[in-house]
Amino acid sequence: MNDAILAEQLRKTGNLMDLLNDEAWVREADADHASEEGTVEAGLGLQPYVEFLKDASPEALQRQRWYVRVLSILLPELKRWLESWQLGRSLEAVYMEAQKCLYGHLRHLTPEQTAWIEMLLAEGEQAVPNEQKVIRAEAITMLAQMFTTEDWQALA
């Protein structure tokens, strides 16, 4: 980036973020970086994740995508279910704990649960509103069956 432009902007407004409203500056900044090679990161905190992705096997990446697809369906259903309990201020803490429980169970699914999740994912591919998805409607029942006595204690 052009240091002279940054210094002038800082002198004029005291706010470098104002440059984001200047389309010419944004295009110039983008052009400066377009020719660079290498990975793009959003900060030092992502470096371990980027290294993981570089070293991950195709099977591990496929498994990760599977988890993301499953969680993109089950987490909203879990939150909606917990919201129906009218927990007030404790909702967020209970939801976080329920997520941990769900993550653990997804690593050790029974054959029945695996089959149900595969049907859930297949149904998710269909262009049908969520309200009309029969398998998704069973999500709360399946989550309730997955959770153990220890999970319920943790949520309490």
Residues of the chain with pLDDT under 70: 1-3, 5-6, 9-10, 13-21, 25, 29-43
Look-up of token digits 């690593």: 107
Predicted pLDDT at 87 = 92
For residue 68, the Cα-to-chain-centroid distance in whole angstroms is 7
Please tell me the distance from the alpha carbon of residue 23 to that of residue 14, in angstroms, as a whole number: 19
Give the pLDDT of residue 25: 66
d(CA 44, CA 48): 8
Q: Return the domain boundaries, the chain.
A: 3-37, 50-155
| pLDDT at residue number 51 | 81
The per-residue pLDDT for 34 is 64
C-alpha distances in Å from residue 101, one per residue of 18, 69, 90, 137: 44, 17, 17, 20
